[in-house]
């Protein structure tokens, strides 16, 4: 059994070691992992404008992106990969409210330039390395293979 002073030294030593490990891992994430995994070199003026549109129209009020946001509407982190540019552009430029599966999306009626900016932002988000998030669903084929 440890004496009171030995326990104190053990606790303080463990705290210092854990804190140092935390600092080193945080520094490594900020200086190495984030720039590589987010592909900072692909951030263009169009991507930045799309992010501003995303924020100014409160898209996170309904949608989730990178695991953050509301859960009313679909998760959009990999929407460019799932749906493609054409589908996204039709939804964004629609003059009528979009109501798939009973959930109604506001008809923002973005012009072509705004839609392209949002698409560029969603494409950039979809190309970030998220360590397998969100996982790809295991769809079963409905085709009859003979």
* Cα separation, 91 vs 81, whole angstroms: 15
Helices 112-126 and 45-56 sit at what angle, rounded to 10 degrees? 100
**This prediction's pTM:** 0.71
State the angle between helix axes of 85-93 and 112-126 in degrees (0 to 180), rounded to the nearest 10: 140
**Residue 140 confidence (pLDDT):** 67
Same domain, 26 and 69: no
CA distance 31 to 92: 36
Q: How confident is the model at residue 12, as a pLDDT?
A: 96
Give yes or no: residues 54 and 123 share one domain.
yes
Note the pLDDT of residue 105: 85
For tokens 């390395």, the residue is 129
136, part of any domain: no
Q: Over its length of 146 residues, how does the chain's per-residue pLDDT go in tens digits? A: 889 999 999 999 999 999 999 999 988 877 777 777 778 888 999 999 999 999 999 999 999 998 889 888 888 988 999 899 999 999 899 888 877 777 788 888 899 999 999 999 999 998 888 777 667 767 666 656 55
Domain tally for the chain? Answer: 2
Alpha carbon distance 51, 106 (integer Å): 18
Clarify whether residues 19 and 86 are in a common domain. no
Domain assignment present for 143: no
Report how far apart, in Å, the C-alpha atoms of 140 and of each of 114, 143, 144 are.
36, 9, 11
């Amino acid at each position: 059994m440890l004496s009171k002073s030995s326990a104190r030294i053990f606790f303080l030593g463990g705290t210092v070691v854990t804190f140092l490990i935390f600092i080193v891992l945080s520094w490594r994430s900020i200086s190495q992992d984030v720039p590589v995994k987010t592909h900072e070199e692909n951030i263009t003026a169009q991507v930045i404008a799309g992010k501003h549109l995303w924020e100014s129209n409160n898209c996170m009020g309904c949608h989730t992106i990178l695991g953050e946001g509301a859960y009313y509407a679909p998760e959009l982190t990999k929407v460019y990969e799932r749906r493609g540019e054409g589908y996204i552009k039709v939804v964004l430029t629609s003059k009528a409210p979009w109501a798939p599966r009973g959930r109604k999306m506001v008809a923002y009626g973005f012009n072509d330039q705004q839609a392209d900016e949002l698409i560029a932002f969603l494409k950039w988000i979809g190309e970030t390395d998220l360590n397998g998030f969100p996982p790809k669903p295991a769809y079963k084929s409905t085709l009859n293979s003979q």
